[in-house]
Amino acid sequence: MDHIGRKIKELRKKKDMTQEKLAEYLHVSFQAVSKWETGAATPDLSLIVPLARLLNVTTDELFGISNDVDVRQEELLKIWQETWNTGDTEKRYEIAKTAVSEYPGNFDYLMWLADAEALFAIHNCEKYSDEQKSHFENAVKYYETIIEDCTDDDVKNDAIYGIVMTLLDIGRREDAIPYAKQHPESDELLMWCLVGDEREKCRQKLIRGCMDKLVEWLEWGKHNLPSIKAAESIIKTIISDGNYLYHNNTLMHNKIWQAMCLTQEKKFDEAISALKASYEYAIAYVDVLENAKKNAISYTSPVLNKLEFDVNDRSVSGTTTLVEDFKEYLTWKEFNALRDREDFQSLFKL
């Protein structure tokens, strides 16, 4: 508690006040004030508020609780971030230990230490040595504490990711799997934990999911023709053998969006060609859907050949068929410029 003594001395001198005068205001002896300032004793609890008022500070400031804490945490954060620019894992480990010792119970700092232990093991220890194993096990212990006690989901999920990777580093694959399943992005973490066909299937599932998300963002707004064409190209690159299965649905809509843009650009012949292609994808999807109702159908593209199209996994937004949806799209105002063309009118008869 010598901090409060130093603070009293600092504030007293700032007010150009002697120990005797301070003692007089508080009705204590000047020897008592002297003992406070040297750390030999601390003020009685009943004197804290009067003392703070006399020195024109808050009680938090008197105890060094508010601004001093913020400044120290900023200092720690600055040093911590610098180590990520320099790659100094030894310094990172030391600053993490310091932060945890100064702020026990702070899960952000405990996360620092868990990460620092794992990285120190990788970069500063001899591979497979007892020292490396010790640092990895320390990291696991800290991650476990965060997972069990922390209520901040972001910090907890970071700890789950960390413990999975660390357990894999020390060969505890089976222990890593239950943690991986707890993470919001469980498929990505499980891919690291699984082996053989299971791992490959998980990897392909992630590829398909990334492809679908990228296509969604490229087609977003349905107004940028180069982006929409890029989405088509991505699907045909990943599913290189033309066995599109569910993605006949995606390509059917992609061609509709292309036709809308081409009509806007007055490239009417190209728009008609895109609409005809859209119809072909719609027909293909209807056939796939009918066959898939009997048995799940496997993708045959080398990139996705561990996956299947199962009708039970799809989401259904309505009761119409894709061919009926195609005819409905033709009535949209975006195709008004094509309305009088014979080749456009013939699309209704398909």
Q: Look at residue 244 and tell me if it is in a domain.
A: yes
- Among the candidates 16, 43, 63, a domain finishes at 63
Q: Which of 149, 69, 75, 78 is nearest to 111 (CA)?
A: 149
- Among the candidates 45, 63, 81, a domain finishes at 63
Q: Are residues 308 and 187 in the same domain?
A: no
The pLDDT of residue 4: 84
Dig out the tokens for 85 from the structure: 């620019």
Q: Look at residue 165 and tell me if it is in a domain.
A: yes
3-state secondary structure of 298: strand
Q: Are residues 56 and 100 in the same domain?
A: no
Number of domains composing the chain:
3
Q: Are residues 87 and 216 in the same domain?
A: no
| pTM for this entry | 0.70
Q: Are residues 71 and 56 in the same domain?
A: no
The pLDDT of residue 314: 67
SS3 content of the chain, % helix, strand, coil (to 5): 75, 0, 25
- Amino acid (1-letter code) at residue 199: R
Q: Look at residue 304 and tell me if it is in a domain.
A: yes
Q: Are residues 304 and 213 in the same domain?
A: yes
Q: Are residues 214 and 339 in the same domain?
A: yes
Q: Which of 44, 73, 49 is nearest to 60 (CA)?
A: 49
3-state secondary structure of 279: helix
3-state secondary structure of 308: strand
Q: Look at residue 199 and tell me if it is in a domain.
A: no
Gyration radius of the chain's alpha carbons: 34
Q: Are residues 49 and 82 in the same domain?
A: no
Q: Look at residue 198 and tell me if it is in a domain.
A: no
Q: How many CA atoms lie within 13 A of 112 on its CB side?
A: 27
Beta bridge mates, 298: 308
DSSP, residue by residue, 4-51: HHHHHHHHHHHTT--HHHHHHHHTS-HHHHHHHHHTS----GGGHHHH
Burial class (CB in 10 A: 0-12, 13-18, 19+), 85: exposed
Q: Are residues 129 and 178 in the same domain?
A: yes
Burial class (CB in 10 A: 0-12, 13-18, 19+), 66: middle
Q: Are residues 336 and 218 in the same domain?
A: yes
Element (H, E) at 309: strand 308-309
In sequence order, the 6+-apart residues with CB closer than 8 A to the CB of 3 are: 63, 64
Q: Look at residue 303 and tell me if it is in a domain.
A: yes
CATH at 52 = 1.10.260.40
DSSP conformational letter for 239: S
Q: Are residues 72 and 57 in the same domain?
A: no
- Taking a C-beta distance cutoff of 8 angstroms, is the pair 244, 251 a contact? yes
Q: How many CA atoms lie within 13 A of 206 on its CB side?
A: 14
HEC-encoded secondary structure of 41-100: CCCCHHHHHHHHHHCCCCHHHHHCCCHHHHHHHHHHHHHHHHHHHHCCHHHHHHHHHHHH
Q: Look at residue 240 and tell me if it is in a domain.
A: yes
- Taking a C-beta distance cutoff of 8 angstroms, is the pair 277, 255 a contact? yes
The pLDDT of residue 1: 47
The pLDDT of residue 197: 94
Q: Which residue has the tokens 């601004």?
A: 67
- Dihedral over Cα of 47, 50, 53, 55: its sign: negative
The domain of 49 spans 2-63
CATH at 80 = 1.25.40.10
Q: Are residues 209 and 187 in the same domain?
A: no
Q: Look at residue 31 and tell me if it is in a domain.
A: yes
**pLDDT, averaged in runs of 10, over the chain (350 residues):** 78 90 88 86 87 86 66 91 94 95 92 97 95 96 95 95 96 95 92 93 95 97 96 98 96 98 97 97 93 90 94 72 94 95 92
Q: Are residues 166 and 186 in the same domain?
A: yes
Phi-psi region of 175 (alpha: psi -120 to 50; beta: other; left: phi over 0): alpha
How many residues can be counted in the chain? Answer: 350
User: How far apart (Å, rounded) are the C-alpha atoms in residues 41 and 331?
Assistant: 88
The pLDDT of residue 111: 97
- Among the candidates 137, 160, 193, a domain finishes at 193
